[in-house]
Structure 1
């Protein structure tokens, strides 16, 4: 096992099988329906969440892990000789999760400097792609600085576009960010959203109709990629596999893609994006 351990949080939406294969540690956020509390991706999985969302009379709320939860995990991992930790988390503009992890790292007086906390400036598989790449690099024997440089480079060459059925969930969850100007839109207007360089939800533009929105995402990707291909494509969805399949097929028809896969948006991300959301997470060659 590598002496560099990789830690993330549940909003990275990394499948359990991948986390197990790459020995990625995960600290869950919490999700609340009224007085009921669940651990994201631990005691509440995606399919269970969307069913509960459909039937519950309560709007879901989410909360971040405490510094103590990160501290307990860091101490456990640092029991190994010469161990270092790279901890990659949900955008600090969207949650206090990064700050909790950072605070925990400062409480390790006897292991000062051994935990490197990274703000992904992203969400869902925008985090997950960085974490998976870091874990693979650690297994290959790369150094801490090499892995951190890889993460920084990927973060600057990563593109996210997503379509939501409604802005209600982002607004009620307080994550509307720079997309607030989209309120009051006419019927059938589909907002194309992204996450900007500061890690905030941002509106790209409003398009009338689903097909036109998909076509516009293709145009935006073409400009981003500047004639190049796609190294990895992850299509994510919030209980909308049909929409995800449509988006995947259209992208595959227009770009050379080395690797493509599906990701289910987990409970915490789904609570803010809302059911029906589809998203493209793109890392260029």
Structure 2
């Protein structure tokens, strides 16, 4: 029997930390950011630093990776001698990427694929990628990697604070948060993904500092009784608040194994807008 050589294929919206990508068999297909007169590949042609000046001029649309690019990445994976591919994407409830990759993989020969729909977004989806990479490094089989990641999905959550609901609404990603519109003048909603991978409101808090306090409380409730967990802080043009949140998490939850820190991808930032702060939790025990 041929020994399995496992690759991990992700989309750019998983916000997988670059240091993990650089040291793992991870391949990425970029989401697309579409302006009236140009199209930019998420993370490759536009960064988290330079997307926001563009948003002041025009609110672009986003789209899944195109089929030609997906097949090109499949070819690259096969050419490098990989035999099996674990596909991990952001929620199918928020993006068509999972279904696009699944459909194209069904007709592709020479590789064995399995798709995992995280039903999550950003670094919360990235947590599944990080876990898969760790299991591959441990020498786990294809089926063991899949089982390990899928078992952890219900124990992985993201909570993010947005400065305004305008971007979610205009981008059509408002989900079950729509009930806040009209009453959200000073409210700072804490938003997460439900079991179907759709945005919903966890809490409505008046004021940013109280919103951060509530996020810490929600994370604490989730972690109650657990000893092994990872945390992450992701932000869109909110570095100062992100650093404060990371420090608070470290002080409040000293048992944390890792606290990942980084920017929200440009494609996701189009929908959340600037001054967005996300906190993700991955329970490991």
What TM-score results when the alignment is normalised by the length of structure 1?
0.92
Which residue among 160, 185, 188 is the counterpart of 2:186? 188
Gaps in structure 1 of 5+ consecutive residues: none
Give the Cα separation in 2 of the matches to 1:92 and 1:186: 27
Match of 1:265 in 2: 264
1:271–1:127 CA distance, 2 compared to 1 (3 A): same
Match of 2:168 in 1: 170
1:173 Cα deviation from its structure 2 partner:
0.8
Give the Cα separation in 1 of the matches to 2:23 and 2:184: 46
1:187–1:137 CA distance, 2 compared to 1 (3 A): same
Q: How many residues align?
A: 281
Match of 1:275 in 2: 274
- Residues 1-285 of structure 1: matches in 2 within 5 Å? 3-54=5-56, 56=57, 58-79=58-79, 83-108=83-108, 110-111=109-110, 114-229=112-227, 231-256=229-254, 257-285=256-284
SS of the aligned residue for 1:85 comes to strand
1:186–1:7 CA distance, 2 compared to 1 (3 A): closer
1:265–1:259 CA distance, 2 compared to 1 (3 A): same
What TM-score results when the alignment is normalised by the length of structure 2?
0.92
Q: Deviations over 1:13-36 (max 9, x none)?
A: 124343121131000011022211
Q: Is the 8 A contact 2:120 2:157 kept in 1?
A: no
What is the CA RMSD across the aligned residues, in angstroms?
1.9
1:224–1:81 CA distance, 2 compared to 1 (3 A): same
Runs of 4+ in 1 over 3 A off after TM superposition: 79-82
- Bigger Cα displacement from structure 2, 215-224 vs 73-82: 73-82
